[in-house]
Homo-oligomer: A and B are copies of this chain.
Amino acid sequence: MSKKPIHQAREIKTHSIPVPESVSPRMQAIIAKPPDPAFNVAPRTNAEWKARVAETARKVEATLPKLREALGVSVDPTVIAGVKVFNVTPASVPSDNRDRLLLHFHGGTRVSNPGAAGTREAILMAGFCGYRIISVDYRMPPDFPFPAALDDAVAVYRDVLQTTDAGKIGFFGTSAGGSLAFTTLLRARAEGLPMPGAMAPGTPTVDLTDEGDSLYTNVFADNVLGTRDGFIRATVQLYAEGRDLKDPLLSPIYGDLKGFPPTILTSGTRDLYLSNTVRMHRKLRAAGVDAALQIWEGQSHTQYMADIAAPETKEYHGEVMRFFDLHLG
């Protein structure tokens, strides 16, 4: 950080953090894992980025056939408004959900989870909650930096509005996908499009600057991300290419959130992006938005959906389902 702070930072001495015993045994096993040291290594060339992204995507994709089968969900690629998407459909759609549609923006630090790898979150949401989902396979760096992802998201939303009432559309997404859901709303409003009925961003990375207390207090307590240094910081540069990170279309926490739809936000106590999440909740509330917050004990970034057999995963989806059911016409 180059700016000179007004107040002195505090030093936190070496200490030990046990795995909480109040969470389920499945979640205890997830929390107990040490951070992946490779996560903090940043690729140096476009070729290295692509290799890294491809390797991660292969690993995720390898888990999907079993996941789709376990949850009875089908995933079909198609194209909407020139943008690659996946139709993600549960085995049966409850009658209340026949006219409803969720738009999904996958996570992956704005660079990861291209193609089918991006559908994992949507498979869980379709399987646990019974919604029809369109998952947007938006373009990403290094080939397509900002604003390609945003262009794609808005194009799909605009197209979907031709056949579905805005009030019956819900947005959801995790991490970078949660942030893209917010920036899509900012752009949609600027272009005169109506707001969707509700949204469910999970641990959205809504601030690409160094601000956010939990980036420091939860360093290496978060075993998914470890630290913002290294890989994450490099993804921000790759995506933003030197633009002002306080541009609301990059960091929607700096945007005008008035008139945004009812929103349920999710994070965990060990999440590096806990502060991003709770700050966005406060900003939404201050803007008069009907915004709810749920924080999960001991969980790091995105772990509310780490394991479909963990009771916390089912409970998380139950909360989101109740929220959507309440607000989607």
Contacts and interface: CB of A to CB of B under 8 A. Distances in A.
A20 interface: yes
Contacts of A18: 1, 5, 7, 9, 216
Interface in A188-222: 211-214, 216-221
Interface string A1-41: 10001111111111111111110010011011010000000
Number of copies: 2
A315 interface: yes
13 contacts: A6-B19, A8-B19, A8-B32, A9-B18, A10-B32, A13-B220, A17-B217, A20-B211, A22-B211, A269-B275, A278-B294, A282-B296, A292-B292
A318 to B, nearest CB: 9
A168 interface: no
B17 A10 contact: yes
B221 A217 contact: yes
B5 A19 contact: yes
Nearest to A19: B7
Interface in A255-275: 269-270, 274-275
A269 B15 contact: no
Given A9-B19, A10-B32, A275-B297, 4 more contacts: A20-B275, A22-B211, A214-B269, A281-B294
Contacts of A274: 269, 295
Contacts of A16: 9-12, 216
A293 interface: yes
A233 interface: no
A279 interface: yes
A216 to B, nearest CB: 4
Contacts of A118: none
